[in-house]
Amino acid sequence: MVVGVSTASLYPLHAEDALAELASLGVKNAEIFANATVEAQEPIVSQMLKIRDENGMKITSFHPFSSPMESVFLFSTYDRRVEEMMELYRGFFGSMNRLGAKIFVLHGAILSSKCPEEHYLRQFGMLARVGREYGITVAQENVSYCMSGDLEFLKKMKRELGDLARFVLDLKQARRSHADPFDYIRELGGSIAHCHLSDADADRDCLPIGNGNFDFRELIRRLASTGFDGALIVELYRSNYGEFSELKKSAEILEEIVQDTKA
C-alpha cells in the first residue's frame, strides 16, 4: 500500500499549483483531480511532470471533473454523446500514461438519471475495456448520490462484469449512504483497487485523519487481508480543514498505521 493526497483537497487551486503545494509539504504520492479539460492537456501535463520528477513524487490516479456529465454522455443511449465522452476519456487515458497514473476514478450515472442497470453495466464494461488498451484501470467509486452508492448494485457489477469491475472505496461517501465501510470490503474484497480516506465523528462526516474516531487500523488490516496493494489517498473538502499541513499530517498518520500493520 502507498499513502498519498488528492489535489482535490486543495480546491480551488489549479491542479498543477495544488500538486506543487503537496510537493512542498513533502507528500510523495498524489492523485490528480482535473477541474478542467486543459488540466489533462499541454502545457499543464508537462508542468505537472516537472513537479513530479523534481520532487521524487508518483501520481497514483486521475479523477476528472466531468463526472456530472457521465449520466447524459457515457451512460446515455444517444450514440454521438457516448462517442464524444469516449473520445474525451481516451485523451485522459493518454495523459494518465504520461503522468504514470494507473487508476481512473469514475462516479457514474446519478440516481435521478434512472439508467437501467444492464445498460450501466454495458457502458462501464465498454469504458473499462478501452482503459485496458491504455494500461489503465477504470474503477467505480461508491458515491452516495449515484447508482454506485448502493452496495447491492456494486455487488451486481462485480458478479456480472468479473475482473472488469474494480472499485474505489470512499469513506465519506459510504457514510453519506448510511453504510458501513467495512461491508464494502467484505463484499467487494480483492476488487477494491483504490481508496479515498477521511476521518469522521458523530457530527461531521469528513475530517482530517486523526481528528475523528474512525478505526483506520482495522480498515487497513481488513484491506490487507484481501491482498489490497493500491493507494490510500487522503481526500478532504477544503472546508473540512484549516492549514495545508493537515493534509501531510493525515498522510503521516496513515503511513505509520500501514507500517505498524506490516510489522
* The pLDDT of residue 144: 97
* Predicted confidence band of residue 214 (pLDDT cuts 50, 70, 90): very high
C-beta separation of 97 from 134 below 8 A = yes
Alpha helices by DSSP H, 75-212: 79-99, 117-133, 151-161, 171-176, 181-188
**What is the C-alpha to C-alpha distance for residues 147 and 209, in angstroms, rounded to an integer?**
27
DSSP assigned state of 167:
E
- No. of helices (H) and no. of strands (E), the chain: 9, 8
* The pLDDT of residue 261: 87
pLDDT at 263 over 80: no
Length of the chain: 263
C-beta separation of 13 from 7 below 8 A = yes
* The pLDDT of residue 140: 98
Domain spans, the chain = 2-262
* The pLDDT of residue 189: 87
DSSP assigned state of 142:
P
- The helix/strand/coil state of 138 is strand
pLDDT digits (tens, 9 = 90+) for 21-49: 999 999 999 999 999 999 999 999 999 99
Beta carbons within 10 angstroms of residue 79's beta carbon: 8
Average pLDDT over residues 208-227: 97
* The pLDDT of residue 262: 81
Average pLDDT over residues 197-212: 97
pLDDT at 203 over 80: yes
Architecture of domain 2-262: Alpha-Beta Barrel (3.20)
* The pLDDT of residue 98: 98
Q: What percentage of the chain carries pLDDT values higher than 70?
A: 100
pTM as predicted: 0.97
Residue 41: exposed, middle, or buried by beta-carbon count in 10 A (0-12, 13-18, 19+)?
A: middle
Max CA pair span of the chain: 53
